[in-house]
Chains A and B, each alone.
Chain A
Amino acid sequence: MRHVISVLLDNESGALSRVVGLFSQRNYNIETLTVAPTDDVTLSRITIVTKGDDEQVEQITKQLHKLINVLKVCDLADAPFVEREILLAKCRAATPEIRAEICSLTDIFRGQIVDVTSELYTIQMVGSSDKIDAFISTAGKTIELIEVVRSGVCGIARGERALRA
């Protein structure tokens, strides 16, 4: 089962390494991880995508909560939530046909072309991980992808639910 865990923690040096260390120490898996300060600059927010059964994820959230720097932990997948990931993909755009193909695919997936050289286009795309996966597998068939970078998932609960200090 895929879980999206949100963690609110002190924005101080060493705090992130405690979280990452916990995952390797206890043999939990990390599929993606994003981290950045929140509107309150003393706090950071981490979103971790992990796989595990309910018991494993219960342990993960408990162990995360036990870290002294961690204020709040929640499994977003418990209720409706929004998740987004950013993709930046550099691809070969050598011929007019390929350039047209890139523009068309990018349009279909509601992406943008954010950098252009005579030979290369860079595509930016925002969406769920599924959508990004779909783009990469589709694009891979007709376009030569030179470099792909994904941000990892960040997520937020729908509706009233909010993770605040």
Chain B
Amino acid sequence: MKYKAITAIAALLALPMSAQAGPDDDKLVINGEIEMVTKTAAPAHLQDAMDEVMSGWHFRSDETQAMEADDFDNPGMVFVEKALGAWETAEGSEGKSCADCHGAVEDMAGVKATYPKWNEEAGGVRTLQMQMNACRTERMGAEAWKYDAGAAIEMEAMLSSVSRGMPVNVAIDGPAQATWEKGKELYYTRTGQLDLSCASCHEENYGNMIRADHLSQGQINGFPTYRLKNAKLNGVHSRFKGCIRDTRAETYSPGSDEFVALELYVTSRGNGLSVEGPSVRN
């Protein structure tokens, strides 16, 4: 048998199917006023791999998409409200609230778009949750919040909500570069007995159906995401963990160095897309 020729035939057969699927061309405007960039030219570092980056929003059903367009329909906004209370509540031995030092939540607009970010004093890259916990433990005398859980994810959702519509813009050069390179390596490493990398699904196959799931680019501009599947806010690291587990691999833990690096790298793949969290996904 001539396997080469058959490969070509198989490839041809695959084409008509993938052409039907793919992301839609809808436009996302939140509350009738925040115009979201959900598709844009890929950042320079990614242009060998793809021309355009797209929010996961484009790959979801019309009903799921509609929930995100209005804060009254977005179940994630309940948690943002909760975090607003926490923002103003004094905690810890110093008797300070976030608001005491940072003022109104709106003053934090733009912060989410730059995280994960290099922190000189800490000598490392910090995710937003790590930064929040640094404020709690070092400035408030309060306990660190558990990674990706309850209060931490709610506060992250709130800080994200005030940055919605602003372009994701994380720095990947300078002192952050080594972490970014490590994240990139993790992204392209095939893991587990299924031997799949993030790229196997989210770069080579976005737009295709994998069983009942419409594969997106696995972007994280929309995090935290409210998932209809588990009816709660989901953090980036928890999502990474689930995807790695599904390759039949040993996962990393939320908050681990590996996931911090991967978060920086994956965020940078969406540089230019609007900050969208809390988004709604299935």
Q: Are A and B interaction partners?
A: no
| Residues of chain A whose beta carbon lies under 8 Å from any beta carbon of chain B | none
